[in-house]
């Protein structure tokens, strides 16, 4: 069966597939079988995965079989995320259904894909060299990541680095960027033509809205990248931009702590992670102005 | 006293000026070690194959010998005490093993 781009499938046919046998959606390096009768899930997929290949017929191989479905409650509608019939999370508000799909997929990858060392970090690439951006929530990682992508960097992931434990190379898994709160309007102003998904209000993370990945990032999703920099970004309101070297031992500790599955990879995983840190330039970046931060990345990659 | 880095269980990585870490196979834990501890561990790891056996020496003599190798000159008592203390800590953690004559 030949895949079609999501944007080439009639909206009604896409919704019908999601409601019945499901949609097989290519999200390199995975194929995900999604089922959902919730309209904002269909809406989010149509908008954010428009340039992705999909199949509306059954019988495809899929790495994950997931669904987001309504949970009936007389007082307040909720939604459930399921993977292979399991419900790994407590239900969320109905309006969070699309975000729930994205968060659930993150969980699927970090829980089951142990052929990579998975790190909680954004990854982007330019001219074959990748920058790994590990940062805790609230550090401005996704905002910076979105701005870099809009500035021509190829997005490998907004959320997790997939590091091959044998080669130390990074596999791309470009999916919509999760913007939160003020960064949603910041990105809307910077890129009025950027495609945004459904807005989820009052989530645990505040207001959440996903932004479509650049066409270049989607088209080049199967290209591996070599880590060249590890940069720990931190948005500090009003602060001047500073880029300072960070101790490699500290960077390695941080990456190890932010790995979802280092225990699976044991010593080989540790050695690979240490090799990556050894090869990369490691910095702390404090910024308050996105344009200054972008200029800093331009200088680094020149 | 013969000290040796316990490489069957631990892995060591570090960078001069950037500190070091010790990885424990037993539970996949990673520990940061000070610059001096990293240099001492590197020495112990390296000297397994490159250094004469000090198994006939006392603990203080071994510490003095290692301190001398680390600082590149005759160590003072404080240097020896520091090395001795770090060796004790590392031995307690199991990162170094100790064998007497």
Task: Give dist(CA A62, CA A232) in Å, integer.
Answer: 34
The minimal CB distance from A249 to the residues B11, B20, B28 is found for: B20
Can you list the pairs that B65-69 forms with residues at least 24 positions away whose Cβ atoms lie under 8 Å?
B66/B3, B66/B40, B69/B43
Residue keyed to tokens 């995983």: A269
Q: Spell out which chain A residues touch chain B, with contact meaning CB-CB distance below 8 angstroms.
A: 247-250, 252-253, 256-257, 262-263, 266-267, 270-271, 274, 278
Alpha-carbon distance A145 to nearest alpha carbon in chain B (angstroms):
27
Residue with tokens 């059954």, as numbered in its chain:
A58
pLDDT band at B26 (very low <50, low <70, confident <90, very high): very high
Chain B residues touching residue A249 (CB < 8 angstroms): 13-15, 18-21, 32-33, 38
Give contacts of B25 with chain A, Cβ < 8 Å.
266-267
Residue B49 has pLDDT above 70, yes or no: no
What confidence tier does B51 reach under pLDDT thresholds 50, 70, 90?
low
Average pLDDT of chain A is 96
Q: Do A270 and B28 touch (CB under 8 A)?
A: yes
Residues A178-194 pLDDT 10s: 999 999 999 999 999 99
- pLDDT higher than 60, residue A113: yes
Contact between chains at B21 and A249 (C-beta distance less than 8 A): yes
Rounded Cα–Cα distance for residues B31 and A219 (Å): 40
Q: Does domain A117-175+213-301 sit in CATH 3.90.228.20? A: yes
Residue A27 pLDDT class (50, 70, 90 cuts): very high
Residue B89 touches partner A, C-beta closer than 8 Å: no
Residue A20, pLDDT above cutoff 70: yes
**A3 contacts A53 by C-beta, under 8 angstroms:** yes
pLDDT at B52: 53
The pLDDT tens digits of the residues spanning A38-48 come to: 999 999 999 99
Does the beta-carbon distance from A267 to B18 stay under 8 Å?
Answer: no
Q: Where are the domains of chain A?
A: 4-112, 117-175+213-301
Lowest mean pLDDT among A24-33, A69-78, B2-11: A69-78
């Amino acid at each position: 069966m030949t895949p079609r781009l999501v944007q080439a499938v009639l909206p009604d046919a896409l919704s019908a597939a999601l409601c019945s046998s499901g949609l097989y959606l290519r999200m390199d390096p995975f194929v995900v079988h999604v089922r959902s009768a919730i309209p904002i899930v269909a809406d989010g997929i149509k908008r954010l995965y428009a340039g992705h290949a999909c199949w509306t017929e059954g019988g495809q191989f899929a790495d994950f079989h997931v669904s987001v479905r309504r949970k009936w409650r007389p007082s307040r509608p909720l939604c459930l995320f399921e993977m292979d019939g399991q419900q790994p999370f407590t239900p969320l508000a109905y309006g969070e259904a699309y975000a729930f799909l994205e968060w659930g997929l993150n969980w699927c990858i970090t829980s089951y894909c142990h052929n990579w060392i998975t790190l909680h970090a954004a990854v982007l690439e330019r001219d074959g060299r990748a920058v790994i951006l590990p940062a805790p929530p609230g550090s401005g990682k996704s905002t910076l990541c979105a701005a870099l992508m809009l500035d021509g960097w190829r997005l490998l992931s907004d959320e997790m680095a997939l590091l091959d434990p044998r080669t130390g190379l990074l596999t791309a898994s470009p999916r919509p960027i999760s913007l939160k709160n003020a960064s949603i309007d910041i990105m809307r102003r910077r890129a009025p033509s950027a495609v945004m998904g459904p807005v989820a209000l009052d989530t645990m993370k505040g207001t959440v809205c996903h932004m479509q990945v650049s066409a270049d990032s989607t088209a080049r999703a199967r290209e591996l990248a070599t880590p060249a920099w590890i940069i720990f970004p931190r948005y500090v309101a009003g602060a001047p931009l500073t880029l300072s070297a960070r101790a490699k031992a500290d960077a390695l500790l941080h990456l190890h702590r932010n790995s979802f599955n280092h225990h699976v990879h044991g010593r080989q995983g540790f050695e690979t992670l240490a090799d990556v840190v050894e090869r990369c330039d490691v910095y702390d970046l404090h910024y308050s102005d996105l344009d200054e931060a972008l200029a800093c990345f331009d200088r680094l990659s020149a | 006293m013969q000290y040796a880095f316990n490489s069957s269980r631990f892995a060591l990585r570090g960078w001069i000026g950037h500190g070091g870490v010790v990885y424990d196979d037993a539970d996949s834990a990673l520990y940061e070690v000070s610059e001096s501890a990293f240099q001492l561990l590197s020495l112990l790891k390296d000297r397994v194959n490159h250094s004469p056996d000090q198994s006939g020496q006392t603990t203080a003599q071994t510490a003095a010998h290692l301190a001398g190798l680390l600082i590149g000159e005759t160590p003072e008592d404080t240097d020896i005490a520091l090395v001795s203390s770090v060796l004790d800590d590392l031995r307690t953690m199991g990162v170094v093993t100790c064998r007497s004559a």
